[in-house]
Amino acid sequence: MESVFTFLFKYRPLLFEQGDVVFQPPLPVLGLLLLAILAGALVAWTYRRPMARARPSDRVALAVLRAGAFAVLFFCLLRPVLVLSSVVPQQNYLGVLIDDSRSMRIADDGTTPRSTFVNETFAEPDAALLKALEARFQLRFFRFSDQVERMDGAAGLAYDGGRTSIAPALDRVREELGALPLSGVVLVTDGADAGAELPEGSASPIGDALLALRAAGVPVFPVGVGRESFDHDIELSRVSAPREALKGTSLVVDLMVAQTGYSGRKVTVLVEDGGRIVGSEEVELPRAGESAPVRVQFTASESGARRFRFRVPAEDGERVIENNEQEALIHVRDGREKILYFEGEPRFEVAFLRRAVAADSNLQVVTLQRTADSKFMRMDVDSAGELFSGFPTTREELFSYRALILGSIEASHFTHEQLRMIAEFVSERGGGLLMLGGRHAFAEGGYAGTPVAEALPVTLDARFSRDTTFFDTLDVRLTRAGAAQPALRVADTESASQERWRTLPPPTTYNRVGALKPGAVALLTGDGRRSGSDRPLLAWQRYGRGQSFALPVQDTWIWQMHADVPLEDQTHELFWRQLMRWLVSGVPQPVVAAVAADHVAPGDPIRITADVSDDRFAKVNDGRVVARVTTPDGSETEVPMSWTVGRDGEYHGTLPATGPGLHTVRVSAERDGRTLSANPVYAYAEPSRNEYFGSQMRAPLLRRIADETGGRFYTAANVAALAEDITYAGRGATVQEERDLWDMPVLFLLLVGLLGTEWVYRRWRGLA
């Protein structure tokens, strides 16, 4: 379209946008007016005379056509001129910013990388565009990725930067060249800057950089490199994984997969740990432009800082295979988690629950079982003094456990302070709470209206406590939410797990529980054979920092001992081991450390935060908190951490990453002579691969940069006009330039068209 405009109007549209049209007639204005009047009179006199076979309408049409021809000639006599401001050659500077990041290595057509275009256009000495720019401007070249660096020319770019950071690059050019007569900045990039993907006008680094350039009157001329979309590509765009897990735990990791050109194709997502495949999941690719969630399940069987790799094998014709994989760094702990199980009466559930988890070396179920009034049996305690006086009476004692199971024990056994302490064990300490069914549990145990009831995921009705005759048999069903939980996966596949739950022997219950609370989820439901109603069999919710479960059945041991269950069946053991691991997952220590990102580029800061509490889990603001970072070469660096002031118990510190390799961060807090330590956290330093995700050319971003600074956006198709455009659209030292418009082809064509139309009309009407 631009070429058609240029042919008709002699010059490109940009010149008309930048210039002003004025008239410079060779005759005085009065003389031109007289000439126009004479021409008009001549036309009127010519077509007012009677003409053979001419109707009045014919005379009007012919007069209009002849008047139009005279008008075109009169316009040419006015001598229209396009006045432009043109930069003075070699008196102005032009900044040239070239993207030196890895995404410039991508071959959009499968063979030629983007860097080839940059080299051929801006690096080769005989490049036409480079010569045109050098003839008009003093060029200053910069390379940028995650860093900005001045260079003598565009040759020698490595294209190995780990991140495209446009805003700092624009700021650097503006600051360094701002004191010179600067005509503008040429930005050569694919625009793959994740930090710039914010709404226009929002507070962001790119928004601030554009505002400063606009205020300084410096236009930016982005040159977009690459395609706006790939014809064939698969991308694992996001991974959501826990930072920490207990050894042997079945993990579920959520990913997002997108594609172009492979709609409906089935691919396999592989999970690797140290090169060994530990899990896989088949997924059908979504439609183009959409992202589909993928959930993969695997077991964390090796302890330590494990780098799990999730990838989709490359398909034929893929343009970018580097975005087919993601990594997650997970700390797999090989510790022993203490769970307190308080049971109010001797029953089979105690023995079978303990037997189910006995083989799990990472679980320690400390059992306190009431055998008679004020008499208790303690099992699996660490010392003779542990639980010597019964259920804990202090926060320090109770909060030393990671989870709490309440069996058939009435609420009246506890003091009000103990009931409140149990609720705070979940909400403040972040522990896990599980209440089992039994004659003295839930509403039947008098828990309605207590602080413990507030923590449970189901409502309790005090009226149920007066009815001790309720009994029901429940047919188990796994809900959709339960099917998504690895703790309830009791078979190799989801469908097999659904079927196994459906065929399990029905357990029984004494307890009637109310509706789920807002935010709670039913994982297992039971279809009551006597009541005829469907009721929650296993419910879950988050409560404060922790989580709570309700399992209102009294004999899950039947899943092991029923006559229909084969001797080798491990469903009961598997269920309890996985449920216990879920119960203690995510339970914090008094001191919790975290890093902002588990993967950083060498030289980037590792940002460390710590949430510090005492052994009563009260926030500490006056402790001495230190992070000791072990670098990949084995050396240790001590980083003092300071209280953030804005939030109780929160401390932060920063250390540059050396590398590449694993950085181990151990945080300790000292107060009043006592020291508490957090579990180690990890950050892996390696060159970033983010450049390959969303690596299509970001035309909307580049157009925004051009529009907000007064520049213009280019691609390989129209970049040849860049030098001329900056000459007339740029800033700096300029001179006035005039270009004649009277000889525009459109005027000649219009004149010929009017006269030709008049002749054709005469012939048609027989007037010639």
Spatial distance between the Cα atoms of 243 and 325, rounded to a whole number of angstroms: 18
> Looking at the predicted structure, is the pLDDT value of residue 749 above 50?
yes
| Predicted pLDDT of residue 739 | 84
179: Cα within 13 Å, side-chain hemisphere: 1
Q: Show the domains of the chain with their CATH numbers.
A: 2-86+738-765 (no CATH), 89-228+699-732 (3.40.50.410), 233-333 (2.60.40.10), 343-584 (3.40.50), 591-690 (2.60.40.10)
CB-CB contact of 288 with 245 (8 Å)? no
Buried b / exposed e over 665-693, threshold 16 CB at 10 Å, is: bbbbbeeeeeebebbbbbbbbbbbbbbbb
| Distance set, CA 98 to CA 122, 159, 502, 695 (Å) | 9, 10, 62, 16
| Predicted pLDDT of residue 50 | 52
Name the strand (E) or helix (H) holding 127: none
- Burial of residue 57, with CB atoms counted within 10 A of its CB: 0-12 exposed, 13-18 middle, 19 or more buried: exposed
> Looking at the predicted structure, is the pLDDT value of residue 411 above 80?
yes
Q: If you average pLDDT over residues 520-546, what whole number do you get?
A: 90
Q: If you average pLDDT over residues 373-384, what whole number do you get?
A: 92
Residue among 130, 133, 152 nearest 141 (CA): 152
Residue with the bigger pLDDT between 65 and 557: it is 557
Spatial distance between the Cα atoms of 234 and 245, rounded to a whole number of angstroms: 29
Residue with the bigger pLDDT between 60 and 508: it is 508
Spatial distance between the Cα atoms of 99 and 121, rounded to a whole number of angstroms: 14
Residue with the bigger pLDDT between 482 and 77: it is 482
Spatial distance between the Cα atoms of 385 and 121, rounded to a whole number of angstroms: 80
> Looking at the predicted structure, is the pLDDT value of residue 200 above 50?
no
Residue among 385, 392, 378 nearest 350 (CA): 378
Strand partners, 592: 611
Strand partners, 306: 330
Residue with the bigger pLDDT between 288 and 266: it is 266
> Looking at the predicted structure, is the pLDDT value of residue 581 above 60?
yes
pLDDT single digits (tens) 92-113:
999 999 999 988 999 888 889 9
Q: If you average pLDDT over residues 583-603, what whole number do you get?
A: 92
> Looking at the predicted structure, is the pLDDT value of residue 202 above 50?
no
Residues 6+ apart with CB under 8 A from 448: 460, 461, 462, 464, 465
Q: If you average pLDDT over residues 417-442, what whole number do you get?
A: 96
* Pairing of β 148-151 and β 138-144: antiparallel
Q: Which of 74-88, 190-204, 427-441, 686-700 has the highest average model confidence (pLDDT)?
A: 427-441
Spatial distance between the Cα atoms of 120 and 719, rounded to a whole number of angstroms: 12
Could you tell me the maximum CA-CA distance found in the chain, to the nearest angstrom?
133
Q: If you average pLDDT over residues 265-277, what whole number do you get?
A: 92
To the nearest 10 degrees (0 to 180), the angle between helices 166-177 and 205-216 is 30
Q: How many CB atoms lie within 10 A of CB 160?
A: 13
> Looking at the predicted structure, is the pLDDT value of residue 374 above 90?
no
pLDDT single digits (tens) 134-182:
999 999 999 998 889 999 988 888 888 888 889 999 999 999 998 899 9
> pLDDT-based confidence at 36, cuts 50/70/90?
low
CB-CB contact of 655 with 595 (8 Å)? no
* Pairing of β 276-284 and β 266-273: antiparallel
Strand partners, 550: 435, 539
| Distance set, CA 695 to CA 121, 193, 470 (Å) | 21, 9, 63
Q: If you average pLDDT over residues 662-675, what whole number do you get?
A: 92
> pLDDT-based confidence at 247, cuts 50/70/90?
very high
> pLDDT-based confidence at 39, cuts 50/70/90?
low
* Pairing of β 432-436 and β 403-406: parallel
Mean pLDDT across the chain: 88
- Burial of residue 478, with CB atoms counted within 10 A of its CB: 0-12 exposed, 13-18 middle, 19 or more buried: buried
> Looking at the predicted structure, is the pLDDT value of residue 268 above 80?
yes
Q: Which of 334-343, 656-665, 740-749 has the highest average model confidence (pLDDT)?
A: 334-343
Residue with the bigger pLDDT between 86 and 410: it is 410
Token pair listed for 392:
């804990």
Rounded to 5°, angle at Cα 30 from 25 and 35 = 80
Residue among 355, 332, 330, 353 nearest 343 (CA): 353
0.85 surpassed by pTM: no
pLDDT single digits (tens) 307-348:
999 999 999 888 888 899 999 999 999 999 999 999 999 999
Q: If you average pLDDT over residues 11-24, what whole number do you get?
A: 79
| Distance set, CA 647 to CA 597, 674, 766 (Å) | 21, 22, 95
| Predicted pLDDT of residue 688 | 81
- Percentage of residues of the chain with pLDDT beyond 90: 57
* Pairing of β 650-656 and β 605-612: antiparallel
Q: What is the DSSP string of 633-689?
A: TS-EEEEEEEE-SSSTTEEEEEEE--SSEEEEEEEEEEETTEEEEPPPEEEEE----
| Predicted pLDDT of residue 647 | 93
- DSSP class of residue 396 equals H
Buried b / exposed e over 611-648, threshold 16 CB at 10 Å, is: bbbbeebeebeebebbbebbbbeeeeeebebebeeeee
| Predicted pLDDT of residue 53 | 58
Residue among 157, 148, 197 nearest 694 (CA): 197
> Looking at the predicted structure, is the pLDDT value of residue 49 above 90?
no
Name the strand (E) or helix (H) holding 742: none
Token pair listed for 117:
């275009």
